[in-house]
Structure 1
Amino acid sequence: MYDLIGDIHGELGALEALLRKLGYRRTSEGWSHPGRMAIFLGDFIDRGADSRGVCRLVREMTQGGSAKAVMGNHEFNALAYHTPDPLRPGAFLREHSPKNRSQHEATLESFAGNDAEFEETRDWFASLPLWLDLGGLRVVHAAWHTESMEALHDHLDTDRKLQASALEQMSRKEKTASRTGKTAYESVETVLKGVEVKLPDGCRFVDKDGHQRHEARIRWWLREGSLTWRELALGPPELIAQLPDALVNEGASRGYPADAPPVFIGHYWLTGKPAPLAPNVACLDYSVAKPGGQLVAYRWEGEQILKVSSFVSVSR
């Protein structure tokens, strides 16, 4: 069966400790387990001190057959950051702004002097699927969102990996919408960063960078029903408090079906004791790159109702 592992963000020591705790052992061919396979939920790089070491370990496991992995938004951003924009000479698909450079700085430092290895690593990023549907369980970095996945269909191969032209198309906000009405940019943003919905007219909040926002990311696995905006929105308490304590618009969130296979996600920087978000939804990102954070795994044995007792964690 599978051991699903959340966002690592360059924290190699925590990853090795978690693998040992799960019963994996390191050999000359990399880490492996005699009877289990790991599945990594993306975001291997940035923030922590050893993105290079993390990528090497996870890459060895995936290429050696002892693990699977999906792409996170940080891997996607890295690909765009290092890919020249064919329409703007001297520019890149992801702008080299101070903000973007700062977010990626730890990875650049980790791979310093190893340009060839970093290029090979980015080629490996590009080979990762955006999601996995293994029948009894599903894996995606941020949101299992059917409409967005359908919109990406023409940009991915049969294994949900990026086609040759996909990165450019997904990096352009102005690209033409797909047959579902969503652009490739909007769709990959949803799958890798989460569902964002427009707030009611006249409502806004100020984000951590001081920008006024008229849209909010939501707990997409919940159906709107009788939920208020404060209950459905995702974010720190000081931001949630700025939202209206009013019922959510009909259609804002369709939720994740109760009879669907379990889905495992990362991305959301949770804290506290690991537990399912819903009977068939689990987030495994528990902020390992922050002080007091944890690297978290879930030992899946085929169950359709997820259990608190199956979470395994190590402190940073």
Structure 2
Amino acid sequence: MYDLIGDIHGHAGALVELLEHLGYQHSGSGYCHPARKVIFLGDFIDRGEHLAQHKQLLTIVMPMVQNGHALAVMGNHEFNALAYHTEVNGLFLRPHTEKNRKQHKAFLNEFDEDFEAKNEVLDFFYELPMWLELDGLRVVHACWDYGAIEFLRVREGSKMTPDLLVRASTEGTPEFKAVETLLKGHEIPLPIGVNFTDKDGNVREWIRVQWWKSEATALGDIALPFGIELGDSANLPMPQGVPKYDASDKPCFIGHYWLSGDPEPLTANIACLDYSVAKNGKLVAYRWSGESRLTRSNFAFRTE
């Protein structure tokens, strides 16, 4: 069975503590367990620059995946890294703006001058599927959108390719929309004149949504980040097109959303495992043993 682990963001020390707490031991082929396997939910990199543990983290994660002790999906930070380091027609797919460089700084600090190691890591990122559909559970970094997954499955498959990276980095393409939804969440525009400032100080006129709230009726019920002030716009009806996840479907595990507090399922069959380890929160795991309904007692965590 599986131990699913949320966003790590360069916190190798917390990962080692969590793996050992879960009963994994280090062998010649990486951390492993006699009866269980890890599934990483993506976002291995960025943040945590004060720790300088990105290389240490990736020397833990990569052998686990490559030697069959773990599975993993791509997070938006792995996608962003591929785009940041890919140049097409003289331009990088992810522009090297101050904002983007700042977000990627922790990775750059350790890898930018080590070209061989950097290319090895980027090759590893290409091997990460954008979603996993396994017997009894599903895994995606941000949003399980049936339509986006089917679109990519038929045309591209579940893994990123250099050609797909170009199209998925080009705003306005169907590939951009599909990959953006799976790795960053479903996004909708705010009414004209309404905006908010995100955790990194950027002014936003679009919001992500809590797509797991299938019974929500108003915009304020589903707006992300949590606690943003929308004024009267919060009472607007739910917009059309927000993905919904069937309450009778098999469990789905996600990361991405910077939760806080005591870990617990979002719904009976959806759990987010990102509890903000990079913001003095927790590195969280869920010990899944085949259950169709998720329980609070199966969460485990460590702090940095």
TM-score calculated relative to the size of structure 1: 0.90
The one-letter code sitting in structure 2 at the alignment partner of 1:50 is Q
Distance 2:46 2:104 in 1: 5
Distance 1:69 1:259 in 2: 25
Deviations 1:67-121 (Å, cap 9, x if unpaired)? Answer: 00000000000000001113xx2x2111011111111110011225432011011
Distance 2:216 2:16 in 1: 43
Deviation at 1:156? 2.4
Kindly indicate whether residue 210 of structure 2 is the aligned counterpart of residue 211 of structure 1: no
State whether residues 126 and 160 of structure 2, in contact with CA within 8 Å, keep that contact through their aligned partners in structure 1: yes
Structure 2: gaps spanning 5 or more residues: none
Q: Give the 5 Å matches for 1:76-87.
A: 76-86=79-89
TM-score calculated relative to the size of structure 2: 0.93
Distance 1:155 1:243 in 2: 41
The one-letter code sitting in structure 1 at the alignment partner of 2:220 is R
The one of 282, 302, 312 aligned to 2:290: 302
Deviations 1:274-293 (Å, cap 9, x if unpaired)? Answer: 000000000000000112x1
State whether residues 186 and 243 of structure 2, in contact with CA within 8 Å, keep that contact through their aligned partners in structure 1: no
State whether residues 50 and 107 of structure 1, in contact with CA within 8 Å, keep that contact through their aligned partners in structure 2: no
Aligned-partner SS, 2:38 = strand
The residue that corresponds to 1:196 in the other structure is: 187
Distance 1:232 1:78 in 2: 29
The residue that corresponds to 1:285 in the other structure is: 274
Aligned-partner SS, 1:150 = helix
Change (3 A) 1:243 1:14: farther
Deviations 1:240-296 (Å, cap 9, x if unpaired)? Answer: 3446231523635352101111000000000000000000000000000112x1000
The one of 228, 232, 248 aligned to 2:237: 248
Change (3 A) 1:81 1:254: closer
The residue that corresponds to 1:59 in the other structure is: 62
Deviation at 1:153? 3.0
The one of 231, 252, 257 aligned to 2:246: 257
The one-letter code sitting in structure 2 at the alignment partner of 1:85 is V
The one-letter code sitting in structure 2 at the alignment partner of 1:306 is L
The residue that corresponds to 2:265 in the other structure is: 276
Q: Which runs of 4+ in 1 moved over 4 A?
A: none
Change (3 A) 1:131 1:212: closer
The one-letter code sitting in structure 2 at the alignment partner of 1:104 is H
Distance 1:269 1:212 in 2: 17
The residue that corresponds to 1:221 in the other structure is: 212
State whether residues 5 and 38 of structure 1, in contact with CA within 8 Å, keep that contact through their aligned partners in structure 2: yes
The alignment-based identity, stated in percent, is 45
Aligned-partner SS, 1:165 = helix
Distance 1:250 1:267 in 2: 22
**What is the CA RMSD across the aligned residues, in angstroms?**
1.7
Stretch of structure 1 that moved more, 131-140 or 254-263: 254-263
Deviations 1:116-171 (Å, cap 9, x if unpaired)? Answer: 011011001011100000030000000001122223235523xx112341111111
Distance 2:60 2:265 in 1: 27
Change (3 A) 1:254 1:195: closer
The residue that corresponds to 1:180 in the other structure is: none
Aligned length: 299
